[in-house]
Amino acid sequence: MIDRLEACRYLVSKLGDELVVTDIGNQKRDLSEAEDRDLNFYMWNSMGMGSSLGLGLAMARPDRKVITMDGDGSLLMNLGSLGTETLRQPENLIHIVWDNKMYHLTGEQPTATAFRTDLARVAEGAGYENVARCETLDAFKAAFDKALAEPGPHFILAINDDKPAAGGAVPKSPTYIRHRFMRAQGLES
């Protein structure tokens, strides 16, 4: 299984001007621990909206790669967004789902992926043609490299271990997060 923090460290090491949005939960802290980039957008609530936010951003910025970092619980809350992504087919979109098969922060309750649901097959059923199901860090690295290099949309399911998130400090103020992100794109002075 994948160590999510190690995978996040690899991910940010490959990034330049790519835009990253994260849904709520552990991946937000691991991403900021790896590197709190100005081009990271962190959601603090609205569980499930990460995929929709990433799609809107990919539509608005076709000149940049957009990486959505989702969780199993978050995606299960907004599964329809997979169909919206595939009907729109944004070539610049990389949708990563960190799947630890639980709602970690609320007491490790199992999600549907702890039972019979396989989100990679759900993504295929929703119309994704580029689907990677990764159970090791090496597999994740290869899938992410491919997604960065080739037109998408890409869906990467990263099966990660049950470790809690690193202690990365995530900016708390929603408006600070938004303005910093937009300024770093040159959209605000």
Partner 1 sequence: MAWSNTMVDVLKQYNVQFISYVPDAKGEKILQVARKDKYFEILPLTREEEGIGVVCGQALGGKRGVVLMPTAGFGNSINALASLAIPYKFSLPMIIGVRGELGEFNQAQIPMGQAMPAILAALNIPTFRITREEDVEKMTEGALRVAYANESPVAILVTNEMAGWKKGSVKL
> Rule CB under 8 A: is residue 183 a binding residue for partner 1?
no
C-alpha neighbours within 13 Å on the C-beta side of residue 172: 0
Stretch that binds partner 1, among 29-37, 109-117, 161-169, 179-187 (CB under 8 A): 179-187
The conformation of residue 164, written as its DSSP 8-state character, comes to P
71 - beta bridge partners?
Answer: 98
Q: Which residues pair with 160 in a beta bridge?
A: 2
Tell me which of 14, 38, 83, 108 binds partner 1, using CB under 8 A: 83
**CA gap 9, 11 in Å, rounded:** 5
Report the distance separating Cα 65 and Cα 80, nearest Å: 22
142 touching partner 1, by CB under 8 A: no
Residues 32-51 close enough to bind partner 1 by CB under 8 A: 41, 43-46, 48-51
Interface with partner 1, residue 125, by CB under 8 A: no
User: Residues 14, 17, 88, 108: which binds partner 1 (CB under 8 A)?
Assistant: 88
Q: Does 153 bind partner 1 (CB under 8 A)?
A: no
State how beta strands 93-99 and 66-71 pair.
parallel
Residue with smaller CB distance to partner 1, 83 or 142? 83
Rg value, the chain, Cα: 15
Q: Using CB under 8 A as the criterion, which residues of the chain lie in contact with partner 1 when the complex forms?
A: 19, 21, 41, 43-46, 48-61, 78, 80-81, 83-84, 87-88, 174-175, 177-178, 181-182, 185, 187
